[in-house]
């Protein structure tokens, strides 16, 4: 029976996928997968499964969202079990809601398989708790890009009073984001961190303040996650992942 599964692949470490997500990969006839899906997860697919790359880089999309929607409907109407494999969680900056709406319109049965979003996992691997008694009782997941022509003051002023800000897609506009938050009340001395390739062996973290992070993180590019708040100060004590011993080199 045809069905589409919108599956969260997790934040990068392949072991962070859910049990159900892994099962759906193994059962799928077709897998449409994103750029940030760990390739090791695709090795779990059946040998005869069709793998379709739908990766999107900033300003460089392999295929449009309309094309992806069309393929989901096309493969499902061929009677296939389809997995739409997304980095992180399908419903957190993953366009899973848009794809689910299309499936509803086309009367195609579907399931959502949640994944661990980068917004929670990446700061955890960097030793930064999003909430902490005495430091943070509020968190917001925010897009670091806005619609063309959107009022930036109106957009960023909404978030200046939140304890911890977890900002996706914030690299390109990092100087603007820092300036806007300072303008609307956050201190230039507020701790901030930019984490690249979080939860993977390539993870890098730059730490500073709103006033100097743009300079300290100048060498980091996408994919990166921006964390702003007093909780960043805990990283010095809690940065467990980057202190793990490296895996032994193969000598065979």
User: First and final CA of the chain: distance in angstroms?
Assistant: 46
DSSP H helical segments within 28-169, as ranges? 39-42, 65-77, 96-105, 118-125, 152-157
Nearest to 12 by CA among 93, 88, 81: 88
* Tokens linked to 125: 């691997």
Q: Tokens standing for 126?
A: 């960097």
DSSP single-letter state for residue 197: S
What whole-number distance in Å separates Cα of residue 124 and Cα of residue 158?
Answer: 25
What radius of gyration, in Å, describes the C-alpha atoms of the chain? 20
Residue 161 token pair = 């009073």
Residue holding tokens 């599956």?
7
Residues taking part in catalysis: 34, 56, 169
Token look-up 């000598």 returns 251
- Tokens of residue 62, six digits: 């392999």
Q: Phi-psi category of 79—alpha, beta or left, where left has phi over 0 and alpha has psi -120 to 50?
A: left
CA dist 208 to 57, 58, 153, 235, Å?
26, 25, 23, 11
Q: What does the block give as tokens for 48?
A: 């005869």
* Whole-number Å distance between alpha carbons of 141 and 67: 28
């Amino acid at each position: 029976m045809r069905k589409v599964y919108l599956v969260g692949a997790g934040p990068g470490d392949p072991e962070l996928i859910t049990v159900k997500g892994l099962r759906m990969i193994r059962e799928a006839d077709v897998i449409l997968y994103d750029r940030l899906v760990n390739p090791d997860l695709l090795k779990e697919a059946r040998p005869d499964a069709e793998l379709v790359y739908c990766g999107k880089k900033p300003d460089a999309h392999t295929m449009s969202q309309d094309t992806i929607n069309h393929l989901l409907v096309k493969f499902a109407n061929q009677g296939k079990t389809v997995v739409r494999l997304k980095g992180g969680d399908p419903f957190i900056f993953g366009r899973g809601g848009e794809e689910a709406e299309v499936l509803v319109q086309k009367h195609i049965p579907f399931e959502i398989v949640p994944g661990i979003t980068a917004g929670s996992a990446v700061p955890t691997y960097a030793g930064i708790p999003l909430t902490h008694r005495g430091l943070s009782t509020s968190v917001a997941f925010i897009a670091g890009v806005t619609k063309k022509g959107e009022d930036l003051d109106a957009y960023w002023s909404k978030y200046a009073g939140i304890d911890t800000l977890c900002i996706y897609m914030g690299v390109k506009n990092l100087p603007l984001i820092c300036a806007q938050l300072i303008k609307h009340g956050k201190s230039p001395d507020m701790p901030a961190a930019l984490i690249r390739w979080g939860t993977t062996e390539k993870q890098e973290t730059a730490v500073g303040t709103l006033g100097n992070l743009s300079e300290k993180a100048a060498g980091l590019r996408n994919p990166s996650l921006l964390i702003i708040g007093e909780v960043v100060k805990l990283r010095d004590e809690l940065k467990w992942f980057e202190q793990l011993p490296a895996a032994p080199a193969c000598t065979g």
